[in-house]
A and B are shown apart, each in its own frame.
Chain A
Amino acid sequence: MSEFLQFLFSGVTVGAVYALVALGFTIIYNASDVVNFAQGEFVMLGGMITWFAHAAGLPLPLAALIAIVATAALGVAINKLAIEPARGAPVVSLIIITIGASVFLQGAAQLVFDKQIHSFPAFSGDRPLRIGGATIQPQSLWVIGGALVVFAGLWLFFTRTLLGRAVLATSNNRLAAQLVGINTNFVMTLSFALSAGIGALAGVLATPITLTAYNVGIGFALKGFAGAMLGGMGNPKGALAGGFLIGLIEALTAGYLSSTYKEAAAFVVILLVLFFMPQGLFGRKSTERV
């Protein structure tokens, strides 16, 4: 029983990171139908920039803030320099551009920083908490709390604010959005900034547990993507649930089968979802009459 609880804790922790990545996917997807595969690099940058600034002598909270703001700015730059000039291109081309941006960011991080593995201190110490015979790191609670807070914020944004609905309207029909007075370029800028900021936050929260290096982004992107697909792309609720589920499936696979198969778990899930339930758990069926 305590063994199961232990797997559960580690699954929920890593699942919270995937959920944050999946939420990042959700925002850009909602604004533009683009799946931004550079999402994982934002997580990497959050961790790497925080480590770099902290190592340079800045206090940790300030270093984290700088990392989040700088990553959000980079997200905006990617939109302005790579996505916006290609506007009007098919969505598939835009997705390929984001893969290019991902490779570029990874290469740049390797040059600007280094190829080592890094970390920084956990926010509330390293003394594990004992719950029901299992232990959990205080940092895990930060990660889980972070995912829940970001989810709540996004859910309110998309369902309760006019600007949130304007983001949804922009992806649904860009022309009509412009005709009602929505600045669609601003919507794209905003969604890239939000999405990159949330990715960086995931990196900041997770690095004390998962460690970081220039090449950790791809893994986060793929697991987060699996989570977003499982939950139903575009739905914050789905992203949250999907992220946690992928984390749990991974941890239980590692615990009860073998950690060799851990990495495969997420991909098996993607394949099953695409075969049997392409709308995901929470995705709405598109009903459209013409």
Chain B
Amino acid sequence: MLTVEGLRSRYGRIEVLHGIDLHVDSGEIVTVVGANGAGKTTLLRCLSGVQPVSAGQITFRGEPLSGVPAHRRPARGLTQSPEGRQIFTNLTVEENLRLGAFLYSDDRVEKDMQDAFAMFPILREKRNLAAGGLSGGQQQMLAMARALMGRPSCLLLDEPSMGLAPIIVQQIFDVVSGLKALGVTVLLVEQNAFGALTIADRGYVMETGRIIMQGPAAELIADPRIREAYLGI
């Protein structure tokens, strides 16, 4: 579904991605784990078209994405829930969700919103409040729900567990693994390697702009090097 070949990207003169190769097949949950600063967020920014690509190729559902501006990518089914819960703080929860479906104005929008409320009931309670007043966990739920309103076939999730209490993290990861049943393919970027590998089918390990290891998630969890470097076991 999503193929990345030889992807390079730079901030000014400093290259931060030195040739990334990865692929996500339809229906999979794939995770990219790695320490802070490994380039995981930059990778997702390239996929969404908000970060310039200096070399390499991104192919989504058989078509190259080069030259497709960021705002056209959600219409193709590629939607991102960005790092740091980038919600619209001065709009209400409901307005945030409605804007998630900015590209659509059919009956399904209302149905999707009810589904989002069913997934995160707290959002229904707070639907008329300004999103900036939500707690961190609620903001993360809103960011994910908003991305799902865009009807993605492939959801890019950037650090959904960042800065959240363990019980909320568990809830978020439960929702992510439930997306499979909804037919949404997921590329999950996480520092929380253990949590991410637990729910993923396959994983990539990223270090300073390169993929240094890859394989089925269960194998990565069992790998002694991973356990030592990322799982703290």
Q: Which of B74, B89, B133, B136 contacts A179 (CB 8 A)?
A: B74
Q: Which of A162, A173, A183 contacts B89 (CB 8 A)?
A: A173
A172 to chain B, nearest CB (A): 5
Question: Residues of A contacting B80 with CB < 8 Å?
Answer: 179
Q: Given A175-B82, A179-B80, does the pair A162, B132 have CB atoms closer than 8 Å?
A: no
Beta-carbon contact of A178 and B70 below 8 Å: yes
Question: Residues of A contacting B87 with CB < 8 Å?
Answer: 173, 176
The digit string for B78-115, where 1 denotes a CB below 8 A from any CB of A, is 01101000111111000100111011010000000000
Question: Residues of A contacting B91 with CB < 8 Å?
Answer: 165, 168-169, 172
Beta-carbon contact of A180 and B74 below 8 Å: yes
Interface centre among A176, A286, A288, by most B CB within 10 Å?
A176
B179 interfacial by beta-carbon distance below 8 Å: no
Interface centre among A165, A181, A183, A288, by most B CB within 10 Å?
A181
Nearest B-chain residue to A234, judged by Cβ: B90
Complex-state Cα separation, A179 to B100, whole angstroms: 9
B150 interfacial by beta-carbon distance below 8 Å: yes
B156 to chain A, nearest CB (A): 9
B134 interfacial by beta-carbon distance below 8 Å: yes
Q: Given A168-B91, A284-B90, does the pair A181, B74 have CB atoms closer than 8 Å?
A: yes
Nearest B-chain residue to A171, judged by Cβ: B90
B75 interfacial by beta-carbon distance below 8 Å: yes
The digit string for A168-200, where 1 denotes a CB below 8 A from any CB of B, is 110011011111111110000000000000000
B25 to chain A, nearest CB (A): 23
Q: Which of B121-135 contact A (CB under 8 A)?
A: 130, 132-135
A287 to chain B, nearest CB (A): 5
Beta-carbon contact of B79 and A179 below 8 Å: yes
Q: Given A165-B99, A169-B99, does the pair A181, B90 have CB atoms closer than 8 Å?
A: no
Complex-state Cα separation, A175 to B44, whole angstroms: 13
Q: Which of A162, A179, A284 contacts B86 (CB 8 A)?
A: A179
Question: Residues of B contacting A287 with CB < 8 Å?
Answer: 130, 132-133
Q: Which of A257-290 contact B (CB under 8 A)?
A: 284, 286-290
Q: Which of B20-63 contact A (CB under 8 A)?
A: 48-50
B35 to chain A, nearest CB (A): 23
Beta-carbon contact of B146 and A180 below 8 Å: yes
Complex-state Cα separation, A180 to B150, whole angstroms: 7
Q: Which of A151-172 contact B (CB under 8 A)?
A: 162, 165-166, 168-169, 172
Complex-state Cα separation, A289 to B133, whole angstroms: 6
B96 to chain A, nearest CB (A): 8
Beta-carbon contact of A180 and B102 below 8 Å: yes
Beta-carbon contact of B50 and A289 below 8 Å: no
Beta-carbon contact of B90 and A179 below 8 Å: no
Beta-carbon contact of A180 and B100 below 8 Å: yes
Q: Given A162-B98, A169-B91, A286-B132, does the pair A181, B103 have CB atoms closer than 8 Å?
A: yes
Q: Which of B163-216 contact A (CB under 8 A)?
A: none
13 CB-based A-B contacts, threshold 8 Å: A162-B99, A172-B88, A175-B82, A176-B88, A177-B99, A179-B80, A179-B82, A179-B147, A181-B72, A183-B71, A287-B132, A287-B133, A290-B136
